[in-house]
Structure 1
Amino acid sequence: MDRKKERIDALAASGGSASTALLDSEDAKSGGGSIIADAWRRLRVSPVFWVGAIIVLLFLLLAIFADLIAPHDPGQLLLRSQTRLSRNQLAPPQPGFPLGGDLLGRDEFSRLVLGSRQTLLVGVFATAIGLAGGMILGTLAGAFGGVVDTVVMRVVDVMLSIPGLLLAISIAALFTTPSQWSVIIAVAVVQIPVFARLLRGQMLAQRGTDHVLAARALGVRRAPIVFRHMLPNSMSPVIVQATVVVAVSIIDAAALSFLGLGSQDVATPEWGQMLGEAQQKIDSYPALAFWPAGCIVVVALGFTLLGESLREALDPKNRR
């Protein structure tokens, strides 16, 4: 029995199909390697991948070392004396304050730098929660099928029929006290059906593979088949999708904060919140909106380029 289980595990590790084994043997004859090595050979010559990777890396470093980079406390009114809203006057850029001050006389550059950390936290946590919820629903639908699959997919279809941003706004509005966590939960719920449908499709494809059929023929229980063979072989597209979803989560979170449904703590900056505050003087000082909006666009672009590059590199249709 142990020897048979080892053979099943070997089939699972190779992808579980004769066609995959044939492709691997052909790659070996032609000097190829594993799927990961083959994907890396395409990624390292892809300018799109490197642009996305550099943007994401710089964003991560900025968020991690924000306390060291920001020259001032983002909540202190250091330029208050130069701010005259009644006269439509804000503190201009000056030594020590490269972007000048905001509507309350706070250092705009420091708030922009510290805001990257809040944006990263919202994007990562929302994606992680959405991924966890989607994995639960997708695994149930793909593993059991039948009535369970029908019920889960109908719930997913209902959620997907509602525009994502509208659903996020509706969920965030249910919280009596808007906060960063209300934004995270609202954005995460929107992403759950995306991951659920993707994982369910991958699980259904795995149900007909050789290693799953062999395990069933040997009488292996459903749980080991799902968690040892089907689920691990279905996760690659889901993980790649998570990279793209981070960009969507950042944009949705910024939209909720812009609408006033995010954190109300003005001492803790967030790019969407800064964009909302800038609307009061956007006609006279468009730079107040340009900087946070530009950061949101660039970071979302970086994650999108990185995710799309990974998706193309790991696509078996692109293997040569």
Structure 2
Amino acid sequence: MTSETPQPPPGRTSYADRRKQRLDALAAASADEEGGVSLILSAWRRLRRNPVFLVGLAITVTFVVLAIIAPWLAPYDPAARPLLDDIRPQSNPVPGPEPGHPLGGDDKGRDLLSRLLVGSQQTLMVGVLATLFGLLGGVTLGTIAGAFAGWTDSLVMRIVDVMLSIPSLLLAFTIAALASSPSQWTLIIAIATVQVPIFARLLRGSMLGQRASDHVLAARSLGVKPHAIVFRHMLPNALGPVIVQATLVLAVAIIDAAALSFLGLGNPDDRRPEWGQMLGAAQPYLGQEPHLAFYPAACIIVVALGFTLMGESLREALDPKTRR
């Protein structure tokens, strides 16, 4: 006795055929919708619908534009003292708002709005240069650790572990304090040094993941030279998370720069204002004139928030585990 698979009546399709047709239709619709787009374009399609990213992008773009055009936008030279005659040591040590000076002046008669605008340029320069130098150092160490195994990887990562074991602000403070005279470059070097282990560890992890990938194994089996595998196959595919992290680290760099300037380890020349420096100068008047500290502190908080919102949204858009 033989068993036969029941066949559907003529003119009707089986359940398996209908299921296959439905899956094929869904696959075709998905292909038409995505159109084989790249990872960057796919991430941008999600980011432009993300209000958190748009808010962070708006804050960041506004800050960068204001920092670039600040010397032309500021109504007065930040070192000029147009409100000097309004200072009365006993009754009016800090000039208040008046026509032509919407935010008033500081204790030396300088226009506060002009100093805030020009200070944004100094803050942006310190944050960007410190992040770029930290990124360069971290990429160098991460590439060495991720491309080579054995004692080279162990040596580099032990150095990174030692740097990470020290609180970042304390390490930056120590490096800046070792300089013979404080300046803007001591801030940049100190903050960049703190950021190196962050980028190095992240890139090293990405590089190790790339070492076991199919395209790297295929390149090795074809006899591609090791340095070509590292710089053409492993490193370009491992840089994505590092670039996203740089956006987040930039916000931390701005806060650290302000903290070191507040402690007196930044540029001592107050004719070139910086937001952290302005915070330190406002400390003696914090009880009577809190607006001297409020305005630069608010600028630091808003700008750091903008970079953080943009970086977190970018990381979620590029991470396959958190895509929505």
Common fold by TM > 0.5? yes
User: Could you tell me how far 1:95 is from its partner in structure 2?
Assistant: 1.0
1:295 and 1:275 map into 2 onto residues whose CA distance is: 11
1:17-43 deviations in Å (ceiling 9; x for gaps): xxxxxxxx9996362232222211211
**Local SS of the residue matching 2:33:** coil
Question: Per-residue CA shift, 1:58-88, capped at 9, x if unaligned?
Answer: 0011001001210001001111111123445
Distance in 1 of aligned mates of 2:165 and 2:150:
22
Matches within 5 A, 1:8-87: 29=31, 31-32=33-34, 33-87=37-91
- Cα pair 1:143 1:226 within 8 Å, conserved: yes
* CA displacement 1:269-311 (0-9 Å, x = unmatched): 0000000000010100000000000000000000000000000
Does 2:291 correspond to 1:284? no
- From 87, 108, 114, give the equivalent of 1:110: 114
| Matched position secondary structure for 1:318 | coil
Q: Does 1:149 align with 2:147?
A: no
Q: Residue 309 of structure 1 aligns with which residue? A: 313
Deviations 1:69-127 (CA, angstroms, capped at 9, x unpaired): 10001001111111123445321101111111101110000000000000000000000
Match of 1:14 in 2: none
1:172 maps to 176
Q: Which structure 2 residue ranges, 5 or more long, are not aligned?
A: 1-26
Percent identity over the alignment is 63
Q: Which amino acid letter does the alignment assign opposite residue 141 of structure 2?
A: L
Structure 2 match to 1:3: none
Amino acid at match of 2:33: G
Give yes or no for contact 2:187–2:257 (8 Å, CA) kept in 1: yes
Q: How does 1:237-316 map to 2 (within 5 A)?
A: 237-316=241-320
The two structures have a TM-score, normalised by structure 1, of: 0.90
Q: Take 2:52 and 2:149, find their aligned partners in 1: how far apart are those partners?
A: 39
User: What is the DSSP-based 3-state SS (H/G/I as helix, E as strand, rest coil) of the residue aligned with 2:267?
Assistant: coil
Task: Give unpaired runs (5+ residues) of structure 1.
Answer: 1-24
CA displacement 1:159-198 (0-9 Å, x = unmatched): 0000000000000000011000000000000000000000
User: Taking structure 1 as reference, are residues 86 and 145 closer, same or farther at Cα in structure 2, changes over 3 Å only?
Assistant: farther
**Normalising by the residue count of structure 2, what TM-score does the alignment of the two structures yield?**
0.89
Please tell me the residue identity of whatever aligns with 2:216.
V
Residue identity in the other structure for 1:289:
A
- How far 1:204 sits from its partner (Å)? 0.1
Write the deviation string for residues 230-284 of structure 1: whole angstroms up to 9, x where unpaired.
0000011100000001100000000000000000111000000000000010100
Please state whether the residue corresponding to 1:263 is helix, strand or coil. Answer: coil
2:60·2:306 contact (CA, 8 Å) conserved in 1? yes
Letter in 2 for 1:98: P
Q: Which secondary structure does the structure 2 equivalent of 1:150 belong to? A: helix
Matching of residues 114-193 of structure 1 within 5 Å: 114-193=118-197
Question: How many matched pairs?
Answer: 296
- Structure 1 window deviating more from structure 2 (27-36 vs 88-97): it is 27-36
- Contact 1:38–1:319 (8 Å) recurs in 2: no
Aligned residue among 187, 196, 200 for 2:200: 196
- Is 1:220 the counterpart of 2:224? The answer is yes
Structure number with bigger Rg: 2
Distance 1:85 1:159 in 2: 47
Q: 2-side partners of 1:153 and 1:27: how far apart? A: 47
Is 1:85–1:103's contact at 8 Å kept on the other side of the alignment? Answer: no
Which amino acid in structure 2 is aligned with residue 260 of structure 1?
A: G
